[in-house]
Structure 1
Amino acid sequence: MTEWLPYLPIVVAPFWIMLNLAINRHVSRRSRHHAFDLSIDARFPFLAIFALPYFSAYILGLMGYILMWRHPDLGRVLVGYVFLVAVGSICYLLFPSRVTRYENLIVAGPSTAMLAWFQRLSGPYNAFPSMHIAYCLYSALISWHYAGGPTGVCLTLWVLLVGVSTLFTKQHYLIDLLAGAVVGVVGYMTVIRLL
C-alpha cells in the first residue's frame, strides 16, 4: 500500500466540506425544491435530545476509513467514499430538495445549540438522499465485511440510531433515509463486488 494513502482523506476533507457548502449555497438559490415528505413524517415529534446521535453520524460515517487505516484494501474503501460523494452531489444538483424543520431554535442546552449552529451553516437543503445514512451504512457494511459480526452489529445499531435521530431532529424525511440506504448499499456493492 502506498504510504501516503491513509492520509489522503485528511487532506481532501476540507475540499469535501467546501464542495458540500458550495452545492448547498447553489441549491438554496434555486426557485424550486422537492420535498419528499409522507404523512408518517409528521408523526415524528421534534426532540432536541436526538441532536447528539444525529451528529455522531460524522464519526460513524468515517468508521469504515478508520477500521481500514492500514489495511491493504483501504484504496478500495476510499473509492467507495468517492462514489458516495459523487452520487450525493449529483442528486443534490439534479433534484434540489429541502426539508421543513424547526428553524430559529431556542437554545436551551447543548443539543439545541449544536442543532441551531448546524442549521445556520447548512440550511434546510440537500436532504435527498440522506448522506448521513449513506456514509453510516457504508461504514457498517465495510465493518461487517472486514471486521466481522460484533463490530458490524454495533455499527448497524448505531446506523439505526442515526436514522431515527434524523427524523426526530427534522433534518430528513423517511424517503430521504431509504434513498440514503440505497446509495450506501450500492457504494458498498461497487467496492466489494466490482473492484
Structure 2
Amino acid sequence: MMRLPPLWRPGLCWLVVLAPLFFISYGVANHHAAGLPAVPSIVFDWERWVPLWPWTILPYWSIDLFYGLSLLICRDRLELAHHARRLLTAQLIAVACFFLFPLRYSVSRPPLQGWSGRLFDALAGFDLPYNQAPSLHIVLLLILWDFYRRRTRGAARAVVHGWSLLIGVSVLTTWQHHFIDIPTGLLVGLLCLWLWPLDGARPQWQWPADGVRRRLALLYGAGAAALSLLAVLAGRTGWWLFWPAASLLLVALCYAGVGAGGFQKRSNGRHTLASRWLFAPYRLGAWVNARLWTRCVPPAAEVCDGVWIGRLPRAGEPEHRQFDRILDVSAELSVRHPRLHALPQLDLVVPAATQLRAAAEHLQRLAGQGSVLVCCALGYSRSAAVVLAWLCLSGRAPSVAAAADLLRRARPQVVLKPALLLAVAQAIALPSPTP
C-alpha cells in the first residue's frame, strides 16, 4: 500500500478549509453578478472561431483532483504553507475581481449528450456564466503546474506539461471563458507564485531610510500609473500595456520596501519563474539600457591579481568564457555560468555597508581560485563598490582614495559618488565576523 507523506494530516486540514471556501465564495460571487441589472462581456471578434470540444470537459474537471492531491503530498512544512497560501491568495484576489469587475460569458452552449453532457450538467449545477476575469481556472492551473513540475522528471514531467496545456485550452473549448480571462488569470497566478515562492523566502517589507530609494519608488510607480492610463485610453489594442505597468509597479515596491529580494534572484544567478515573467518588460528595458551605455567601452577590465570588473556578460561572448568565476551583484539581470555567485543589490542606490562587507569578503574567498569577474548591469557602480571594499580589506590599497584611483585607472567609466565612497569606508570599518 502506498504511504502518504507525513504532512498529509496538516494538508488535509488545509483542504478542509480551502475547499468549502472555494465553493462558497465562488457561488456568492456568481449569484451577486446574476442579480445585477446588466453584466458586460469582453469578446474579441476572432473568438467566434473557437470550437466547442465537448471531450475537453474531462481535463477541465480534472483540476479539482490535482488541487486536492497537491495538499496531501507536500514534502515539508514550508512547501505546504506557501502552496496553501498560494491557493488561498488566488481565491481571494479572483473573487474580489469578480465582485468589483463582473463579466459574463456571452455564448450559449448547445445541449450535449453522453458522458460529456453529464459532466457539463454537473458543472451547470453550481456554475453560472459569470466569474470570468481573471479565470480562476487559469490561476489555479499555473499554481498547480508549478507545484507538480517540481516533483517530476522525464516522461512524468512531460505528462504534467501536456495535461496542463489541455486544461488551459479547455477553458476556451468548453465555452466557459472568453480570451481576456486567460492573460488576466496568468497575471494573478504569477503574482501568487511571486508572493509565496516554494524555494525560498517570500518578499518582506522594510521601509527604507534612503531618500533615493523612495524617490525611485515614486518614479517607477508614476511610470506604472502612466502606462495603465495609456492602456485604458488606447482601448483593447493597448491592454497589453498592463503587463509592463504591473512590472514597473513591482519594481516600485522593491525600491519602496521589499528590496533586492523582490527580484527573487537566487544564489546561482537565476530568477524564479514568477520573477522572470512579471519583471520581463522591465528586465528587457534594463538590458537594452545597459547595452546602450556600454556599447563603446570594453566589457571588462582587470583591476589586479585576476580580479576584473565589467558589465554582465551575455552567454556566448568571449568575456563570458574567459573567467573561472563570476560574482554578479545585479538584482534585475541574469547570466548563466557554471561557477556564478550572485549577491543581488538594487540599481541606482548606495548599498548598505553590511552588504558591501559581505560581498567584499565573498570576493576575497573567490580571488584565489582563478580569474573572477565582478559585474553588474553596467560595471560602473555596484560592482565598483564591491571591488573598492575588497581592495581595502585585502590590503591591496591602503585607503579608499587609493583604491578609487586604482579602479579609475582600470575602468575610467566607474561612477564613484561621495555617498558610495562613504559606504565603502563604513564597510571596511565593520568588525570582522567571528569565525
Mapped contact 2:15–2:71 kept (Cα < 8 A): no
1:122 to 127, 131, 138: 127
Match of 1:88 in 2: 94
The answer to whether structure 1 residue 98 and structure 2 residue 104 are counterparts is yes
Q: Which amino acid aligns with 1:147?
A: R
Query: Matched residues in 2 for 1:17 and 1:188: separation?
Result: 22
Gaps of 5+ in 1: none
Mapped contact 2:12–2:72 kept (Cα < 8 A): no
Match of 1:48 in 2: 54
2:26 to 20, 23, 27: 20
Spell out, residue by residue over 1:123-169, the C-alpha distance to the aligned partner (whole angstroms, 9 max, x if none). Answer: 1010111111110111111233x425445543232221112111111
2:64 to 39, 58, 64: 58
SS at match of 2:90: helix
Match of 2:166 in 1: 161
Mapped contact 1:137–1:184 kept (Cα < 8 A): yes
Spell out, residue by residue over 1:46-66, the C-alpha distance to the aligned partner (whole angstroms, 9 max, x if none). Answer: 221221121112223445434
Q: Which amino acid aligns with 1:97?
A: L
Deviation at 1:93, TM superposition (A): 0.5
Deviation at 1:2, TM superposition (A): 8.2
The structure that is helix-richer by fraction is 1
- Over 3 Å counting, the alpha-carbon distance change for 1:138 and 1:63 in structure 2 is farther
Mapped contact 2:57–2:119 kept (Cα < 8 A): yes
Higher relative contact order (Cα pairs below 8 Å, separated by 6+ residues) = 1
Identity %, equivalent residues: 22
Q: Which amino acid aligns with 2:174?
A: T
Mapped contact 1:32–1:96 kept (Cα < 8 A): no
SS at match of 2:126: helix
Task: Give TM-score scaled by structure 2 length.
Answer: 0.41
Deviation at 1:100, TM superposition (A): 1.9
Deviation at 1:33, TM superposition (A): 1.8
Mapped contact 1:133–1:159 kept (Cα < 8 A): no
Mapped contact 1:101–1:124 kept (Cα < 8 A): no
SS at match of 1:56: helix
CA RMSD, 1 decimal: 2.3
The structure that is strand-richer by fraction is 2
Deviation at 1:25, TM superposition (A): 0.8
Query: Matched residues in 2 for 1:34 and 1:82: separation?
Result: 27
The answer to whether structure 1 residue 194 and structure 2 residue 202 are counterparts is yes
SS at match of 1:170: coil
Q: Which amino acid aligns with 1:143?
A: Y
Q: Which sits farther off after the overlay, 3-12 or 154-163?
A: 3-12
- Over 3 Å counting, the alpha-carbon distance change for 1:39 and 1:122 in structure 2 is same
- Over 3 Å counting, the alpha-carbon distance change for 1:174 and 1:61 in structure 2 is farther
Spell out, residue by residue over 1:35-84, the C-alpha distance to the aligned partner (whole angstroms, 9 max, x if none). Answer: 1211221111222122112111222344543441x422211111111110
Aligned length: 192
Task: Give TM-score scaled by structure 1 length.
Answer: 0.86
Mapped contact 1:61–1:132 kept (Cα < 8 A): no
Query: Matched residues in 2 for 1:186 and 1:77: separation?
Result: 13
SS at match of 2:182: helix
Deviation at 1:114, TM superposition (A): 1.2
Mapped contact 1:64–1:140 kept (Cα < 8 A): no
Match of 1:30 in 2: 36
Q: Which amino acid aligns with 2:50?
A: F
- Over 3 Å counting, the alpha-carbon distance change for 1:183 and 1:64 in structure 2 is farther
